[in-house]
Structure 1
Amino acid sequence: MKSLRMQCMAEQTDYGTAGQTGLTVTLLDKMWEPLRQAMSDRLIPGASAAVLYKGERLRYAGGLAVDIPSETTEATLETLYDCASLTKVSVTLPLVLILLDQGKLKLEDPVSSYLPEFHRADKSMITLRHLLSHTSGFVASYDFHTQPWTPQEILDFLAKEPLAYEPGTLCIYSDVGFILLGEIIPRLFGMPLDQAAKKHLFDPLGMKDSGFRPSPGERPRIAATEYSMATQAYWHGIVHDENARAMGGVSGHAGLFATAADLLEYARMWLASANVRPSAAHKPCLLSPPAAVRAITKQTPLLPEVNRGLGWVLKGDTADVSGRFFSQQAFGHTGFTGTSLYLDPLQELAVVLLTNRVHYGREQSVTQLRTDFHDAVAAAIQASSL
């Protein structure tokens, strides 16, 4: 007998005018097969995905957004997901680049120019570029959530904490750099991070469903994440990341909730900002081409085994999950909750995958699912051109 979850595996698709790209319904259907298999294997309860190809939007949703004994809710094209670390590249990075375009900062500026707490001998060499490329000297993270610290106390702690390595000599993926950027951005825009994101990103791009700290009224649209032993309930509409939660739900490293469609509009902006193809160039270009290109250019030249841009993971890095068929120009990022955003300018392609893989426990790995999904999308596109 099928479980209630399996009985509820309804699907939604929206292909628009995809036929103009040569993609048949059969090829489109094959794109989502890795997601169906992952749901069947109970790796994920459900997913909402979106693909942008040659300017055409393709969308899919299947499975469940909530799968608990007392509640089952289907995942839909409009389901909001906790984006986790996609916040880094979908909020914090573009806001920094907008400030760069406005001349309000430079990548080589020392962090201490904006955070006086860092006027210390061991911190004076850390630049904004180091924070963005995960080469700042900080470890991956610290425990702020079990401490009753204010944001200022967190800054004071980070200013005093010894670095793990000399900035620029290693690459250790770290939330800390983006937490600090999330404190710098409001000082330069003159408004809180979430307000700056709404004014300078979400509203101009039409990302109407994106934001921090969703209201209780939006809860029915939100995918639940992980079960909490402390609260004896699932995190549902409250950010999953502990440190972001301790910071009030708004941070430079996590806290964004969004739909796949909204993130696809954000991806469209990146293709347009880089002036890659005419078909992508009809959306607002919030970033100058030089700023966009710099962000997707290797920022770790002294570390040959590392391929990091500003925020973005570039093709060939150890964290790259773009798969076998994305070009060498591909770049992207993932989020701990089971989210990812990948772009391939050469193929005029962007792929959003939103899942709540921690719903069944954080030991669930979706690394292979991400690469399999990207491969399935790219394979369908290649087949459409034969």
Structure 2
Amino acid sequence: MRLFRKLITACACVAILLMATAVPANADATDFRKLDTLMNGAVRDSVFPGASLAVIYRGKTVFHKAFGHLTYDPHSAPADTTTIYDAASLTKAVVTTSIAMQLVERDSLDLRAPVSRYRPGFACNGKERITIEQLMRHTSGLRAHTYFAETCATREEALQAIDRDSVVSVPGAKTEYSDLNFILLGSIVEQITGKSLAANFHTRFAAPLTMNSTMFTPPLSLAARIAPTGEDGIWKLPRPRPLVNDQNAALLGGISGHAGLFTTTGDLTKMVKMLMNGGQLDGKRYIKASTVKRFRERGDTPRALGWDLVTPGGKSSAGHYFSSNSWGHLGFTGTSIWVDPEKDLAVILLSNRVWPTPENIRIRKFRPVLHDTVVECLEGR
């Protein structure tokens, strides 16, 4: 009897210990059927032919699935979580901004310095006082977009065209999203480091984070894994066109500060977790926490440094439930990252909505519904 009582006591202690260390029953038991239904419906409604979606919540990837196919042909390969997508303007935030964070904290790049410190030829036609910070916040006054391939044949000719261009608004007076800002930033990163943007990102982030499917100018050997984007019928140059959807990025050799990155949702979860965790992941620090915080601050503009922010009281692609402290970015090809630090939540969407034509803009209405649905699933709304 005494032995039996000891056994019961021991079992009770083990049970108490297990209860104390167990994960709450609902932590990994979120009902995502509503999200599945939404994504499958988006494929049926031709929002995109296929997509990969990852949800990070409280430090864990709690949802990671792919939907649809690589094209609208039902016989095309199904999309999966290893499908590689053209990230488009996510390049600005994931690549150029992350590298800029490291350069700023190591005093190689001065946010308050005029762009002309790094590109002397830029100081003309009202651009003399434009700063690096104004490029990053899209308050430079530069025009939003130019098809450089219509007048330029090389990367250097395109950069010189930006140097010679005039502003379309007073620098610092208003926010106007511009690819030209980050084309310049990419070239400045390369000038400071003496290495290409692709080499910088690979060495600083992709390799140590084991983002093995993330790169610029992917090789033909990966073609079967890459979701196609729209055909470019206006390429005028005699040399072969790089794979990237963005024509200016193609002119720049497929590597630019504004576009050109190819990646997967699995790889991006590592980068996003690192940024959510104050620049550190798995015991390795990539960026100082103070630097990450500095680059997320709104300041006097509606955008952070390299990242977009939720507009208070306005419509946002992040939906209705993401807090006003949320940060993220969109990509033209149908990609997005939105992070809510208050909810400790991130949603990463990669798609090729531009296949076969960029005229398909259904994703504009879909994005806020997607983010609302994710929150509703997690919070049981």
**Separation in 1, partners of 2:139, 2:148:** 21
**Separation in 1, partners of 2:26, 2:157:** 56
2:355 aligned counterpart, secondary structure: helix
1:30 aligned counterpart, secondary structure: helix
Pick from 238, 256, 263: which aligns with 2:261? 256
Conserved 8 A contact 1:314-1:331: yes
Conserved 8 A contact 1:222-1:236: no
1:4 corresponding residue in structure 2: none
Alignment of 1:218-257 (within 5 A): 218-229=222-233, 238-257=243-262
Alignment of 1:84-99 (within 5 A): 84-99=88-103
Task: Give the stretch that moved more between structures: 81-90 or 121-130.
Answer: 121-130
1:203 corresponding residue in structure 2: 207
Task: Give the stretch that moved more between structures: 31-40 or 53-62.
Answer: 31-40
Structure 1 segments of 4 or more deviating over 6 A?
none
1:176 aligned counterpart, secondary structure: helix
**Separation in 2, partners of 1:121, 1:164:** 10
**1:323 partnered with 2:319:** yes
1:109 corresponding residue in structure 2: 113
5+ residue gaps, structure 2? 1-22
2:367 corresponding residue in structure 1: 370
Conserved 8 A contact 1:224-1:236: no
Instruction: Go from structure 1 to structure 2 and tell me whether the alpha carbon gap of 1:82 and 1:236 turns closer, same or farther (over 3 Å shift).
Output: farther
Deviations 1:66-104 (A, max 9, x none): 3348x6111001000000000000100000111001111
2:290 corresponding residue in structure 1: 290
**1:162 partnered with 2:205:** no
Conserved 8 A contact 1:269-1:283: no
1:73 aligned counterpart, secondary structure: coil
1:139 corresponding residue in structure 2: 143
The amino acid of 2:276's aligned partner reads L
2:347 aligned counterpart, secondary structure: strand
Conserved 8 A contact 1:49-1:353: yes
1:14 corresponding residue in structure 2: none
The amino acid of 2:284's aligned partner reads P
The amino acid of 1:330's aligned partner reads S
**Separation in 2, partners of 1:283, 1:349:** 21
Pick from 32, 37, 44: which aligns with 1:33? 37
Deviation at 1:331, TM superposition (A): 0.8
**Separation in 2, partners of 1:22, 1:237:** 47
Conserved 8 A contact 2:242-2:254: no
Conserved 8 A contact 2:125-2:166: no
2:182 corresponding residue in structure 1: 178
**Separation in 2, partners of 1:162, 1:228:** 28
Conserved 8 A contact 2:30-2:378: no
1:267 corresponding residue in structure 2: 272
2:77 aligned counterpart, secondary structure: strand
1:343 aligned counterpart, secondary structure: strand
Q: Percent identity?
A: 34
1:184 aligned counterpart, secondary structure: helix
Deviation at 1:25, TM superposition (A): 5.2
Conserved 8 A contact 1:89-1:312: yes
Deviations 1:296-351 (A, max 9, x none): 1114x1x5xxx210111111166731111111211111000000011111111111
**Separation in 1, partners of 2:232, 2:55:** 33
**Separation in 2, partners of 1:274, 1:217:** 33
**1:309 partnered with 2:304:** yes
Instruction: Go from structure 1 to structure 2 and tell me whether the alpha carbon gap of 1:21 and 1:166 turns closer, same or farther (over 3 Å shift).
Output: farther
Instruction: Go from structure 1 to structure 2 and tell me whether the alpha carbon gap of 1:246 and 1:23 turns closer, same or farther (over 3 Å shift).
Output: same
1:126 aligned counterpart, secondary structure: coil
Pick from 344, 351, 356: which aligns with 2:347? 351
Deviation at 1:153, TM superposition (A): 1.7
Report the TM-score, using the length of structure 1 for normalisation.
0.86
Report the TM-score, using the length of structure 2 for normalisation.
0.87
Instruction: Go from structure 1 to structure 2 and tell me whether the alpha carbon gap of 1:357 and 1:21 turns closer, same or farther (over 3 Å shift).
Output: farther
The amino acid of 1:241's aligned partner reads D
Instruction: Go from structure 1 to structure 2 and tell me whether the alpha carbon gap of 1:195 and 1:87 turns closer, same or farther (over 3 Å shift).
Output: same
Instruction: Go from structure 1 to structure 2 and tell me whether the alpha carbon gap of 1:21 and 1:87 turns closer, same or farther (over 3 Å shift).
Output: farther
**Separation in 2, partners of 1:87, 1:96:** 12
Instruction: Go from structure 1 to structure 2 and tell me whether the alpha carbon gap of 1:352 and 1:269 turns closer, same or farther (over 3 Å shift).
Output: same
Deviations 1:326-381 (A, max 9, x none): 11211111000000011111111111001100114212221221111111111111
Conserved 8 A contact 2:58-2:345: yes
Instruction: Go from structure 1 to structure 2 and tell me whether the alpha carbon gap of 1:145 and 1:284 turns closer, same or farther (over 3 Å shift).
Output: farther
**Separation in 1, partners of 2:191, 2:49:** 40
1:273 aligned counterpart, secondary structure: coil
**1:216 partnered with 2:212:** no
Instruction: Go from structure 1 to structure 2 and tell me whether the alpha carbon gap of 1:147 and 1:187 turns closer, same or farther (over 3 Å shift).
Output: same
Number of aligned positions between the proteins:
352
